[in-house]
Amino acid sequence: MSRLVAVSNRISIPKRGAAPGGLAVGLLTAIQARRGLWFGWDGETSEVAGSEPSIVRKDDVTYASIDFDKAEYYDFYLGFCNGTLWPLFHYFVDGFRYKDVQYEAYQRMNHRYAKHLAPLLEPDDIIWVHDYHLFPLAQRLREAGATQPMGLFLHIPFPNIEVLRVLPVYGELLQAMLAYDVLGFQTETDVQAFRSAVAYVWGEEALNADSSVTLGGRRVVTGVFPIGVDVDAIQREAVESQNTDACKRMVAGLLGRKLMIGVDRLDYSKGLVERFKAYEKFLETHPENQNRVSFLQIAPLSRTDVRAYSEIRRDLEQTTGRTNGRFADTDWTPIRYLNRNFPHDVLMGFMRSAQVGIVTPVRDGMNLVAKEFVAAQDPSDPGVLVLSTLAGAARELTGAIMVNPYDARGMAHAIQQAFNMPIAERRERHQAMNDVMRRNSITAWHTSFIETLESVVEPPKDFRLRFG
């Protein structure tokens, strides 16, 4: 069995007492099965980046991590990755910024990733690269002489060509992506967006009927590999965490009221401001729910060095203050808004205690929170998921109440419908979504991608240039 080498911008080394999230668990399971290597940034910054990666071996996994110097952190990570690619790929053209110096840092960092990773590779490795931070990595590894099969999985949406070509270097990034052997996306919409970009640049003749792309004599497989969750593991976590102090205190604080819960990173793609306004509209248009329903929004701080994130935090605090000021009573706070994180098992317990889960991003590649909410529910008395049609998860979780995250009135109506849905309908919707999630589990995700990558038998050609 070939060794699996997973590469991501950020790696997660398990720590005692800390439970990793669903994606980390899925990746670690795949890597452990093959006694593999996980390579990436350790999350640390320093004045001068280290000259060699730090190596840690734990539970049949080798972790190789590098740090960033401060310039790399600002120009590569905050700059091109999160100030250019992230907003553009989520269709936030107004928030998109491009600077040559940041793109140069992006290329330099991918060169550095490749330079540190190449000596650690073994001839029969298969290499699985993750996300938009590392589009050029395969190209750089090919230049270093690597001939192993390489696949890229994009966790975020891939934009339509009419949006993508706002980026001055979009052609270079597309060319870099075609140095991989397999390109995986969350949804068929993303695959078609990528193929339309290839056709725009190189013509329809580059597209094959089997969804692959052929360019310069090389065939690149594209496919849909939706990320899932481990339904049984989440169910166990949710049940067991009901007895934790955190869950007991949260439920006790409701004083018998019904609960709607949202769990999101503090990010403008999550539609939090629109969600808070919709909840205010819900209390306004359905006043019978006042003092009978509470909304718990957990939103850990994210990328606090980026101005846009400071602005969304300010907007949420203002909206929360206005709603609570309008509707609060001496024993009731309509919105509980928390800028902190909780252990994964506690979050699952919170979700199990909620009658409504609200997941309303204005654009999202998949959104595992939606799946975790469904998996955490009591099948005999499940809660209802309110889900944005603009989340990738909407393609699978068709038993949710679908909403347009920009439609406050429609969302308010959906929340009312969710709280008043009959139990028979709730059970039917929940069962249908659970069945889909069991088919498209986290195990099915990594197994199908790796099997596709292993099916690549011909090593890539024409990428034999060496580092200077």
Query: Hey, which residues are catalytic here?
Result: 155, 364
Burial of 462 (0-12, 13-18, 19+ CB in 10 A): exposed
Burial of 374 (0-12, 13-18, 19+ CB in 10 A): buried
Largest CA distance in the chain: 71
Distance of alpha carbon 58 from alpha carbon 410, whole angstroms: 49
Distance of alpha carbon 405 from alpha carbon 270, whole angstroms: 9
Distance of alpha carbon 309 from alpha carbon 315, whole angstroms: 10
Tokens standing for residue 197: 């970009």
Distance of alpha carbon 131 from alpha carbon 118, whole angstroms: 19
**What are the C-alpha distances in Å from 318 to residues 216, 273, 294, 322?**
54, 10, 18, 6
Q: Phi and psi of 266, rounded to 5°?
A: -75, 95
Q: Are 169 and 106 in contact (CB under 8 A)?
A: no
CA-based nearest residue to 75, from 55, 53, 50, 102: 102
Query: β-strands 384-388, 356-359: how paired?
Result: parallel
**What are the C-alpha distances in Å from 315 to residues 36, 172, 236, 272?**
44, 37, 36, 9
Tokens standing for residue 3: 């060794």
